[in-house]
Chains A and B, each alone.
Chain A
Amino acid sequence: MPSASTYSRPSSLDEALTFIQSTSGKALKILAGGTDLLIQMRAGLYPDTALLDIKNIPETMSITIEPNQVRIGAAAAASEICANIQLRQLYPGLVEGIEYIGSTQIQSRATFGGNLCNASPAADGVPALIAAGGTCLIVGPEGRRINPISTICTGPGETALGQGEFIAEFILPIPKPGSADAYLRFTPRNEMDIAVVGVAANLSVDADGTCTRAQVVIGAIAPTALVASDVAACLVDQPLTPKIIDKAGEIASQLGSPLTDKRGTSEYRHQIAGVLTKRAIKIAAERAKKAH
């Protein structure tokens, strides 16, 4: 572990801000679940860095279902999120995304805030968050602001957050009747793997099964989660027949600029993006029909 420096675990957003002010000018890192950050610190990153642990602040830890929105704390653990039956009914795909992250042990710690701000192109929690069209409450020295989730990640390991800023919570709309989402990822092993490709589909269908709204977001094929708008375009106003879904998959398999790395070749990622897009749309469509 690199040389030590301060650590704080404030019990309120304001207390957090005073700590941030006290360390301004010095390097600061936000500690949510820590399942990425601690590995990076052990590898020598972020020496002499102040740590702000946000796991003791009500707003960042709670999951609240309100009449017209859902609020998920940025530091709420995946195990809490997956145990929330109401949330799983409203956003099955969103919960599937974070449920994929790591093992049971990782689920006890991993958070949406950490997963998003670590900004890995293959992050499992991010596609469904973006596909849900959610926003996030950003807290920092210059006060609070609300931004669409899709604007946070700007590249591998990079976010749009300023110095001393952190995400306190995610705000998602209550899905309209006939809406549902789904998330699938592909990994060689059944568990404990980084996504070769991940696909979130979030769509609405009317009474006779025609798609009225669609959002498809694909992870691990571009520097950040890719909003596949032309896949969505191919679905809207269409009955979600196998032919249409195959066409959507075909489009998806041409998108992005996937890398060839130790987890897969770019050609393979293209193919799998197509396969998973078809499967995710099919699952989301079936769920949406039942959600009338």
Chain B
Amino acid sequence: MSKQHITTTLNGEPTEFLCDTRQTLLDTLRNELRLTGTKEGCATGDCGACTVLLDGKATCSCLVLGVEAEGKDIQTIEGVAHEGELHPLQTAFLNNAALQCGVCTPGIIVAAKALLETHPNPTEKEVRYWLSGNLCRCTGYDKIIHAVMDAASAMRGEQP
């Protein structure tokens, strides 16, 4: 297996790793870099549990090769909280009981983070459209959508 040396920015820090040219970014994050917060639900880009931000864009890391991340900026769930402070989305998910088993939560929070960075005041429909690539089987999505809307208003500085 020929391995390539890849340099990236991972959760704000310069990070280098070796990965086989056929290894997905998901497997690289989980097996080489020990960041197991990004989950595999299907490995075919249909469930969104492996969502990371690649140059700021919500992306299924199971459909990206590790070598394609050369020179890119990667953000995973482990980078969402910042200096000991939870991100408003994380707080909103906890306060709204917007997770039950929690396996889809990392992927949804990362995808929602990308949404709120580009749509600070999304409608319910826009949130549902944006998150349709993130399957959840436990919650029926209701409290997840409420949590994202709450986080959006908190980030706009509105009192809950």
- Residues of A whose CB lies within 8 Å of any CB of B are 1-7, 9, 31, 34-35, 38-39, 41-42, 51, 53, 55, 77, 79, 102-106, 108-109, 190-192
Contact = CB atoms under 8 A, between A and B. Distances in A.
Nearest to A2: B22
Nearest to A1: B22
Given A38-B24, A53-B67, A105-B63, 11 more contacts: A1-B20, A1-B23, A7-B21, A35-B60, A39-B45, A41-B22, A51-B65, A53-B68, A105-B111, A105-B133, A106-B133
What 9 A-B pairs are tightest by C-beta distance, nearest first? A103-B133, A191-B132, A1-B22, A108-B57, A7-B21, A105-B60, A108-B59, A105-B133, A4-B21
B77 interface: no
Interface of B: 1-2, 4, 20-24, 43-46, 48, 51, 54, 57-60, 62-65, 67-68, 70, 111, 114-115, 129-134
Contacts of B132: 103-104, 190-192
Contacts of A55: 68
Given A7-B21, A41-B22, A192-B46, A104 B65 contact: no
A55 B48 CA distance: 23
Contacts of A104: 58, 111, 114-115, 130-133
A106 B20 CA distance: 23
Contact of A38 (B1, B21, B65, B67): B65
B65 A7 contact: yes
Nearest to A37: B63
A38 B43 CA distance: 9
A1 B44 CA distance: 13
A35 B43 CA distance: 11
